Amino acid sequence: MRAGNDIAGLITRVNAMLYDASTEDRYATLFYAQYDPATRRLSYVNAGHCPPILLRSTANHAAVERLDQAGGTVVGLLPECAYEQAEVSLCPGDLLVIYTDGFSEAMNPNLEEWGEERLIHAIASCAGLPAKDAISKIMQAADAFASGAPQSDDMTLVILRAL
């Protein structure tokens, strides 16, 4: 499958293929993006996934944005779904954090959830760090909160730093 500039159409086709190829109780969340370095534009579709967090690098302070402007339902659940795509411009120094819900739903021994607010706070503390160091810092913050409590879901991070 090729997307070209119509990534919403691509995700619509992925949804139909997954629906046809799996049982009715199978579906997946998905965040798909394409970046054009010439225009510094990130086009994306969010199919029921946690909205990625964009930490803007500005002269005075870091601003946090959630990429929740477009998307649709999870893929594979319904035979026909329409998806919307959105675009955002990335500036040098911006940090994009794509994460699974295992982060926001991480639990400590008291069964408290880490939550999106703590995740955003951890991301905001990564202003100016290289992507590799930001991953380490966010992982350390989640691990410190969990205090050794076993987790029931995967904890995956993908981080991009615009140069």
Tens-digit pLDDT profile for residues 56-88: 987 556 689 999 888 999 999 999 999 999 999
Class of domain 7-161: alpha beta
Residues listed for the chain: 163
Tens-digit pLDDT profile for residues 146-155: 999 999 899 9
CA dist., res. 94 & res. 127, Å (int): 8
Tens-digit pLDDT profile for residues 9-42: 999 999 999 999 998 889 999 999 999 999 999 9
Residue 119, pLDDT above cutoff 90: yes
CA dist., res. 63 & res. 124, Å (int): 8
Residue 1, pLDDT above cutoff 60: no
Please answer whether residues 74 and 48 qualify as being in contact, where contact means their C-beta atoms are separated by less than 8 angstroms.
yes
Tokens of 34: 């394409």
Number of neighbours of residue 99 by Cβ within 10 angstroms: 23
